[in-house]
């Protein structure tokens, strides 16, 4: 307990811990100790102002540029692959400030550049009528996606949301799950990021 309490960022009790391990050889043994951090969207949102920002840690892990052109709108077999498919065919919601949005479509322009289609919605996920929309500050044209971190932010990032059982939008880990689905469905991501392998346990 005392060891776990000494971890930087220990306020996230029950999820961060120090682990001990031992390697025994023929004539010696070595004791290992390391810190483990659970990284999900909740922890990233709540550690943004901390010197131990998990969002910054995740950025450093995933902001490695693709080393070739990747079309994220096609799967391994060249078939169309849109954000909703990466989200298990559920709408892709996220928040920006006090506003809620749905990512509807990504159009590939070449050179890792996309046009994005967003729709502003209310807290129930219903499309707002034109006069109440406020989409001006969202970049939709010529959006560069050059790394997994870029993709993560386009699909909602730390403000990813989903419809709860009450019918209202609530924060979720959908963007992390979608990132994993992109990796396993768009083969060139795996090929171009072999030096920074991403598996489901890392994302979660």
Tell me the per-residue pLDDT of 73-114, one tens digit each, with 9 for 90 and over. 999 999 999 999 999 999 999 999 889 999 999 999 999 999
The predicted model gives 38-64 an average pLDDT of 87
Return phi, psi of residue 32, to 5°: -110, 145
pLDDT of residue 144 exceeding 70, the answer is yes
Tell me the per-residue pLDDT of 175-195, one tens digit each, with 9 for 90 and over. 999 999 999 999 766 555 544
Quote the CA–CA distance of 194 and 174 in Å, as a whole number. 24
The predicted model scores a pTM of: 0.77
The predicted model gives 133-156 an average pLDDT of 86
- Determine which of 11-20, 33-42, 172-181 has the lowest per-residue pLDDT on average: 11-20
């Amino acid at each position: 307990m005392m060891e776990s309490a000494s971890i930087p960022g220990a306020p996230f009790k029950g999820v961060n811990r120090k682990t001990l391990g031992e390697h025994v050889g023929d004539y010696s043994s070595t004791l290992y100790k390391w810190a483990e951090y659970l990284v999900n969207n909740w922890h990233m949102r709540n550690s943004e102002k901390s010197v131990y920002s998990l969002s910054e840690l995740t950025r450093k892990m995933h902001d490695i540029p693709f080393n070739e052109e990747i079309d994220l709108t096609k799967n391994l077999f060249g078939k169309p692959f849109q954000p909703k498919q990466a989200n298990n065919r559920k709408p892709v919601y996220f928040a920006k400030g006090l506003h809620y949005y749905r990512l509807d479509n990504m159009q590939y322009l070449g050179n890792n550049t996309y046009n994005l289609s967003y729709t502003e919605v209310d807290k129930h996920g219903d499309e707002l009528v034109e006069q109440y929309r406020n989409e001006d500050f969202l970049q939709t044209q010529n959006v560069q996606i050059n790394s997994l971190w870029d993709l993560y932010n386009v699909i909602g990032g730390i403000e990813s949301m989903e419809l709860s059982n009450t019918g209202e939008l609530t924060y979720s880990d959908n963007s992390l799950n979608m990132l994993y689905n992109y990796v396993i469905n768009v083969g060139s991501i795996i090929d171009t990021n072999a030096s920074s392998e991403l598996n489901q346990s890392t994302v979660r």
